[in-house]
Amino acid sequence: MPWLQLKLTANRSGTASIEYALMKIGAVSVTLEDNADQPILEPALGETPLWDQVKITGLFDANIDTAAIATSLQQRLSQPLTHLQWEQLEDKDWEREWMSNFHPICCGERLWICPSWCAPPQPTKVNILLDPGLAFGTGTHPTTFLCMQWLDKQLLDDLELIDYGCGSGILGIAALKLGARRVIGVDIDPQALIATADNAQRNQLADNAMPVFLPDNAPEASADIVLANILAGPLAELAPILTNLTRPGGKLCLSGILDVQAQAVMDAYAKDFDFEPIAQKEEWVRLVGRKIR
C-alpha cells in the first residue's frame, strides 16, 4: 500500500499541538525526531522529554488531497507553518526488509546468534535461533552483544540463572545452550514473555528449562548468576531486588548502560558486589560483579 509523508519542523512548545492536529486530520501515525543533534540519554521515570527542535512526520494514505490536508492543518494551529514537505514513502514489504538486514552474529569462541530463517554458518558451534518478534534483543545492539560475549566465556554447567528483563529471551537461551540447568525469565512486557517462550521452543529447549514471569509473579528464589540488560535508571532502582536474587558468591551481569552512567549504577550495588573492570563497546558498557555477602 503506498503512503505519503508530511514533514515539518517545530520547537518543543509547539510539538504537541501539531502532533494532535495531524492525528485529527487523518494521519495514521506521527513520528517525532531530533532536528538539531541534541542527545537525550535516558528519561527519568514518568518523563517524556523532547528536543528543543523537533522534526515531525505524519503518515497519510497516498490517495489524500495534500493541499486540503495542509490547509486543514494550518487552520487547527495558532502559529503559521512553513517548510511543509510531502514525500512518497516507498512501498515495501517492511517485514522482509527487516529480515534481510538481520544476519548471523558471532559472539565469541562458541556462541552464534542466527535468524530463525537462516542456516547457521557454523553448525558445530552453539547456535541461538532467534526471531525476536516485538521484543528487544537480537544481538545487534552493543549491550546485548556485550552480555552474549561474557556468557560465551563462562562455565555455566548445571548453574541456575535469572534473566531479568528477558526481552526476546536471547541471554537465557544462550545460557541454557551453554550448559546452564535452568533460567528464570522476568519481564514487565507480556509480549516479551511470549517471544521468550517461542524462542525457547524454537531452540528445542525443554518445556520447563526457561519459565517466564511478570515481576509480581516471579519466584523469589535466588540464582548463581543474574543477568539484567535494561537501562541505567531501572538498574539502579532495582538494586535491592537484583541483589537479593543473587546468591552469595554469585555473579551479576548488568548492561543497557552508557559509559557516563556506569559509576552511578556501580554505586547502587557497591556495598554487596566487587566489580570487574568495565567492558565497553561504542558508548555502552557491561558491568559484572561478584556478590561478597
The CATH number of domain 97-291, selected from 3.40.50.11540, 3.40.50.150, 3.30.420.60, 3.30.300.280: 3.40.50.150
CA distance 213 to 111: 26
In DSSP terms, which residues pair with 291 in a beta bridge? 273
**pLDDT (0 to 100) of residue 129:** 80
**pLDDT (0 to 100) of residue 108:** 85
**Region of poorest pLDDT, from 81-95, 101-115, 194-208:** 81-95
Q: Where in the chain is the domain with CATH 3.30.70.260?
A: 3-91
- This prediction's pTM: 0.69
**pLDDT (0 to 100) of residue 62:** 84
CA distance 287 to 289: 7
Q: Where in the chain is the domain with CATH 3.40.50.150?
A: 97-291
Q: Tell me: the pLDDT tens digits for 173-209?
A: 999 999 999 999 999 989 889 989 998 998 999 989 9
The three-point CA angle 179-184-186 to 5° equals: 140
Q: How many residues does the chain have?
A: 293
Q: What is the number of alpha carbons within 13 Å of residue 113 lying toward its C-beta? A: 30
Per-residue pLDDT averaged across 142-149, rounded?
Answer: 92
The secondary structure of 202-247 as a DSSP string is HTT--TTSS-EE-GGGS----EEEEEEES-HHHHHHTHHHHHHHEE
CA distance 192 to 274: 31
Annotated binding site: 144, 165, 187, 229
Give the distance, in angstroms, between the CA of residue 12 and the centroid of all CA atoms in the same chain. Answer: 26
Q: What is the mean pLDDT of the chain?
A: 86
Q: How confident is the model at residue 135 (pLDDT cuts 50, 70, 90)?
A: very low
**pLDDT (0 to 100) of residue 63:** 86
CATH class of 3-91: alpha beta
Annotated binding site for S-adenosyl-L-methionine: 144, 165, 187, 229
Q: Tell me: the pLDDT tens digits for 18-54?
A: 998 999 999 988 888 877 665 554 555 445 556 788 8
- What's the maximum distance between 2 C-alpha atoms anywhere in the chain? 68
Residue 97 has pLDDT above 50, yes or no: no
Q: Higher model confidence: residue 157 or residue 104? A: 157
